[in-house]
């Protein structure tokens, strides 16, 4: 006999102590007043009234929950909230941003398919395309997505399943024209997939600009506090349903507590992105005027190569910027090591400022020639601007720049000049059929 209100069998006989302890510890409280926060459904299993209902729920014949790898109410609530902010019909949560990227691509790609991807894509995304999917018979052509003629030529060269871009590229801050790229993709029969991590849906909603799927590392700006790892895929209901099926079979399930923390971050996303953006553009403007700085990239700067595109696709410039030091790797390392406010750590999109030197961290195994081909000069620094006071950041950066200039001058006599700044502004070779060798992609 089952209690159809709770879905559990009614207690009809006395129980021994162990049985009663287990039942007592799992008895659900009665809550007549709705909570103001989404509860954390910290459970893997859900009970059903009978075997028929359990099977129907597990096979998605009726709404409900059966097993945590398939669905969880907290995770579903988080994904639905992000989808709404993205302007998408549906969303699905993942254990990490790379889990989301893997699922989005894996849903669309089969052996023999072809991808055209931005040449300045995140290193681990590039490694996934060339390594994981490459081993399965998928080929990838890397192209400068700011050169629409080159993109069209790459799409026309052979049947293409996916065009892949990043709203704001990691780490070179190249800005993609989603309207134009989505049009090109669809005219050539490809799906348009966008990594929106650096922007967040507050700054840009690629689905509304033509993207078929948008992916984000919710570890970054969405959650915003460097205390949770999560990812999200959003798009049409039918396509996200296929993404969900892929995740069920591959297992990158998002933990409900992580979903709760990421959802908490959504409440302050607008406020944080406004502060990130305001401080970042002021810091970038200050950096442009400093000696020892070759160039600064921030979408809101008139000097940014895609400033006009950014003005159309972004609400604000965002919290990410990059700048190139005169002294190359030595200056970059010295700058990082001298800073006192930013933590020397990985990741981005947090309440605290994070500065990374890709040539000595994420891309440390590449020489200057290989870095230039990837759009990264030896002195490039990536900065995720936090919520600290601007004056404190400027004072700290000013001191670090002085030390970096000295380090760069001391090493200049014993090595060649850094590569030209030209490759690092997003103007990479038009197409590149082969991947640049990547280091261990642990730092982000």
Distance between CA atoms of 280 and 292, rounded to whole angstroms? 19
Active-site residue, 415 included: no
Active-site residue, 195 included: yes
DSSP 49: S
**Predicted pLDDT at 12:** 60
Are 333 and 405 contained in the same domain?
yes
Residue 142 lies in a domain: yes
Helix and strand counts by DSSP (H, E) for the chain: 16, 14
Are 198 and 335 contained in the same domain?
no
Are 208 and 308 contained in the same domain?
no
Domain boundary among 221, 236, 268: 268
The one catalytic residue among 195, 255, 326, 368 = 195
Are 122 and 109 contained in the same domain?
yes
Count Cβ atoms below 10 Å from residue 63 Cβ, excluding itself: 8
Active-site residue, 122 included: yes
Are 43 and 150 contained in the same domain?
no
CB environment 393-408: b (16+ within 10 A), e (fewer): bbebbeebbbebbebb
The one catalytic residue among 114, 161, 220, 242 = 220
Beta bridge pairs of residue 293:
325
The one catalytic residue among 41, 65, 122, 192 = 122
Are 39 and 137 contained in the same domain?
no
Count Cβ atoms below 10 Å from residue 89 Cβ, excluding itself: 15
Residue 11: band (very low, low, confident or very high) from pLDDT cuts 50, 70, 90: low
Are 276 and 193 contained in the same domain?
no
pLDDT tens sequence across 194-243: 999 999 999 999 999 999 999 999 999 999 999 999 999 999 999 999 99
pLDDT tens sequence across 62-117: 999 999 999 999 999 999 999 999 999 999 999 999 999 999 999 999 999 999 99
Domain residue limits at 301: 269-425
Residue 439 lies in a domain: no
SS3 216: strand
Neighbour-count burial of 288, counting CB atoms closer than 10 A to its CB (0-12 exposed, 13-18 middle, 19+ buried) = middle
Q: Reply yes or no on whether the pLDDT at 439 is more than 60.
A: no
The CATH number assigned to the domain holding 245 equals 3.40.640.10
Residue 416 lies in a domain: yes
Are 262 and 289 contained in the same domain?
no
Are 93 and 236 contained in the same domain?
yes
With vertex at residue 272, the alpha carbon angle to CA 102 and CA 40, rounded to the nearest 5 degrees, is 60
Active-site residue, 220 included: yes
Are 327 and 214 contained in the same domain?
no
Beta bridge pairs of residue 194:
165, 214
Are 176 and 196 contained in the same domain?
yes
Residue 438 lies in a domain: no
Are 306 and 256 contained in the same domain?
no
The CATH number assigned to the domain holding 322 equals 3.90.1150.10
Residue 443 lies in a domain: no
Residue 436: band (very low, low, confident or very high) from pLDDT cuts 50, 70, 90: very low
pLDDT tens sequence across 248-299: 999 999 999 999 999 999 999 999 999 999 999 999 999 999 999 999 999 9
Residues 6+ apart with CB under 8 A from 444: 122, 124, 217, 346, 347, 348, 362
Distance between CA atoms of 147 and 306, rounded to whole angstroms? 11
- Quote the number of domains for the chain: 3
């Amino acid at each position: 006999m089952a209690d159809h209100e709770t879905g559990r069998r009614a207690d009809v006989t006395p129980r021994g102590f162990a049985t009663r302890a287990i039942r007592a510890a799992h008895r659900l409280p009665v809550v007549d007043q709705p909570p103001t926060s989404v509860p954390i459904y910290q459970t893997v299993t859900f009970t059903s009234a009978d075997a028929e209902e359990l099977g129907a729920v597990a096979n998605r014949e009726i709404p409900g929950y059966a097993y945590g790898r398939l669905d969880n109410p907290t995770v579903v609530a988080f994904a639905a909230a992000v989808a709404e902010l993205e302007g998408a019909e549906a969303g699905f949560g993942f254990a990490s941003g790379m889990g989301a990227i893997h699922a989005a691509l894996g849903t669309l790609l089969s052996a023999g398919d072809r991808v055209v991807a931005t040449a300045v894509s995140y290193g681990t995304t590039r490694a996934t395309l060339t390594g994981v999917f490459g081993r399965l018979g998928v080929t990838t052509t890397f192209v400068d997505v700011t050169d629409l003629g080159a993109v069209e030529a790459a799409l026309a060269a052979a049947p293409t399943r996916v065009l892949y871009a990043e709203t704001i590229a990691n780490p070179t801050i190249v800005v993609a024209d989603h309207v134009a790229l989505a049009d090109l993709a669809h005219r050539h029969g490809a799906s348009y997939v966008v990594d929106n991590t650096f922007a967040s849906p507050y700054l840009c909603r690629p689905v509304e600009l033509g993207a078929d799927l948008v992916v984000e590392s919710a570890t970054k700006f969405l959650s915003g506090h460097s205390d949770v790892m999560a990812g999200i895929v959003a798009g049409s209901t039918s396509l996200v349903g296929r993404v969900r099926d892929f995740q069920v079979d591959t297992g990158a399930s998002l933990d409900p507590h992580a979903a709760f923390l990421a959802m908490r971050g959504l409440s302050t996303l607008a406020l944080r992105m406004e502060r990130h953006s305001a401080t970042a553009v002021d810091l970038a403007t200050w950096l442009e005027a400093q000696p020892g700085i070759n160039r600064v990239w921030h979408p809101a700067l008139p000097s940014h190569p895609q400033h006009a595109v950014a003005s159309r696709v972004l609400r604000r410039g965002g919290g990410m910027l990059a700048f190139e030091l005169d002294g190359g790797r030595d200056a970059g390392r010295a700058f990082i090591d001298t800073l006192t406010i930013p933590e020397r750590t990985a990741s981005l999109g947090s309440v605290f400022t994070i500065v990374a030197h890709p040539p000595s961290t994420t891309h440390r195994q590449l020489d200057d020639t290989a870095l230039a081909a990837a759009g990264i000069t030896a002195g490039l620094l990536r900065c995720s601007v936090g919520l600290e006071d601007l004056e404190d950041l400027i004072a700290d950066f000013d001191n670090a720049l002085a030390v970096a200039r000295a380090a760069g001058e001391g090493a200049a006599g014993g090595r060649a000049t850094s590569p030209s700044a030209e490759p690092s502004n997003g103007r990479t070779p038009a197409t590149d059929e082969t991947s640049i060798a990547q280091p261990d992609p642990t730092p982000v």
